[in-house]
């Protein structure tokens, strides 16, 4: 391919350079669904007595989040309305990065959880689901008679 | 490219660079009277959010606060930092003194009105 030694469109050239640089930094190929890890982002941790799930779901009406626990699989789903209104000719969206639309995240929990002892709370855009582990699986000390 | 009213400035050089921060996703919408910016800042309580204008730069700084049990061991973490930071360069027709901010369920909404002289005006035609 012929490429001019002295490109006329300097900005296009900068743009290409920037893209090439960007690509060389991203050593791993991006997922086909993009770089985002999905919405909401999830953090999961465990304590001896419970499993703690944090879903970072800003801008969601907590009453409209569906949380299901079925056979040890936790599903969080809902819909997030878009703030970028339909183009009416009067507004311009310069940057549009925030997630909008339906979402669903599925998480498989350990075997020893108690499906009846689930607590969910929502604060500052973070959904916290706490699932207790079953009493019977807790380590116990057995007294010798 | 150059006529965008808000352009994103590249990461701050110099001090403050050493601690990498989360880059919150934003929506920036412009209408006739100003700009509305939405930023996702989950886990940020009101008192840990800092929005300020320095010269022509709009800075959003916030801390993520999670109430985590003491003995918790993280097993999977998609959010690994506890600080949000993002900066934007404002253009001249925006009025930095009249920026209003509200934080609701982890979403920051900033309204930056255009200065008086940049507001659209309808000019009446006088008929003699």
CA B82 to CA B51: how far, in whole Å? 17
- Total domains in chain A come to 1
Is B40 domain-assigned?
Answer: yes
Is A4 domain-assigned?
Answer: no
What is the distance in angstroms between the CA of the first residue and the CA of the last residue of chain B?
44
CA A46 to CA A48: how far, in whole Å? 7
Task: Print the domain residue range for A129.
Answer: 37-82+101-137
Is B15 domain-assigned?
Answer: no
A43 touches chain B (CB under 8 A): yes
Q: What is the pTM of this model?
A: 0.74
CA B41 to CA A123: how far, in whole Å? 12
Is A58 domain-assigned?
Answer: yes
Is A121 domain-assigned?
Answer: yes
pLDDT score recorded for residue A124:
92
- Is it the case that residue A1 has pLDDT exceeding 60? no
Q: What residues have CB less than 8 Å from B52, skipping those under 6 apart?
A: B58, B59, B61
Is B74 domain-assigned?
Answer: no
CATH number at A45 reads 2.60.40.790
ipTM for the whole predicted complex goes beyond 0.85: no
- Total domains in chain B come to 1
Residue A30 pLDDT grade (very low, low, confident, very high; cuts 50, 70, 90): low
Residue of B40, B44, B72 with shortest CB distance to A46: B72
The residue of chain A with its CA nearest to that of B66 is A126
CATH number at B57 reads 2.60.40.790
Residue A44 pLDDT grade (very low, low, confident, very high; cuts 50, 70, 90): very high
Task: Print the domain residue range for B26.
Answer: 21-66+79-118
Residue of B25, B66, B72 with shortest CB distance to A98: B25
CA angle, A68 then A69 then A75, to 5°: 55
pLDDT score recorded for residue B16:
44
Is B60 domain-assigned?
Answer: yes
Is B126 domain-assigned?
Answer: no
pLDDT score recorded for residue B96:
86
Residues of chain B with pLDDT under 50: 1-18
SS3 B51: strand
In this predicted model, what pLDDT tens digit does every residue of A101-141 receive, in sequence order? Answer: 899 999 999 988 988 889 999 999 999 999 999 887 777 88
Is B55 domain-assigned?
Answer: yes
Angstrom CA distances, B33 to A23, A33, A95, B116, stand at: 38, 36, 18, 9
Residues of B with Cβ-Cβ distance to A93 under 8 angstroms: 27-30
pLDDT score recorded for residue A87:
64
Is A22 domain-assigned?
Answer: no
Is A92 domain-assigned?
Answer: no
Collect contacts of A94-97 with beta carbons under 8 A, ≥24 apart. Answer: A94/B4, A94/B5, A94/B6, A94/B28, A94/B29, A94/B30, A95/B6, A95/B8, A95/B26, A95/B27, A95/B28, A96/B27, A96/B28, A97/B25, A97/B26, A97/B27
Is A15 domain-assigned?
Answer: no
């Amino acid at each position: 391919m012929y490429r001019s030694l002295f490109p006329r469109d300097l900005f296009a050239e900068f743009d290409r350079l920037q893209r090439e640089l960007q690509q060389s930094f991203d050593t791993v190929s991006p997922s086909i669904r993009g770089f985002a890890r999905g919405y909401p982002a999830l953090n999961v941790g465990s304590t001896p007595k419970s499993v703690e799930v944090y879903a970072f779901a800003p801008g969601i009406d907590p009453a409209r989040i569906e949380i299901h626990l079925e056979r040890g699989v936790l599903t969080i789903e809902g819909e997030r309305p878009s703030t970028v209104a339909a183009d009416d000719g009067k507004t311009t969206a310069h940057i549009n990065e925030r997630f909008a639309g339906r979402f669903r995240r599925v998480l498989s929990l350990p075997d020893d959880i108690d499906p009846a002892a689930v607590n969910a709370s929502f604060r500052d855009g973070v959904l916290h689901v706490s699932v207790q582990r079953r009493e019977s699986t807790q380590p116990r000390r057995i007294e010798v008679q | 490219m150059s006529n965008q009213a808000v352009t994103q400035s590249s990461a701050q050089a110099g001090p403050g660079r050493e601690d990498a921060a989360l880059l919150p996703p934003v929506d920036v919408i412009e209408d006739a009277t100003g700009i509305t910016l939405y930023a996702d800042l989950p886990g940020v309580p009101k008192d840990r959010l800092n929005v300020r204008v320095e010269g022509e730069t709009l800075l959003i700084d916030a801390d993520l606060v999670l109430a985590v049990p003491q003995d918790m061991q993280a097993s999977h973490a998609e959010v690994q930092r506890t600080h949000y930071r993002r900066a934007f360069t404002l253009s001249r027709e925006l009025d930095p003194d009249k920026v209003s901010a509200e934080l609701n369920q982890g979403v920051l909404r900033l309204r930056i009105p255009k200065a008086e002289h940049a507001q659209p005006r309808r000019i009446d035609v006088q008929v003699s």
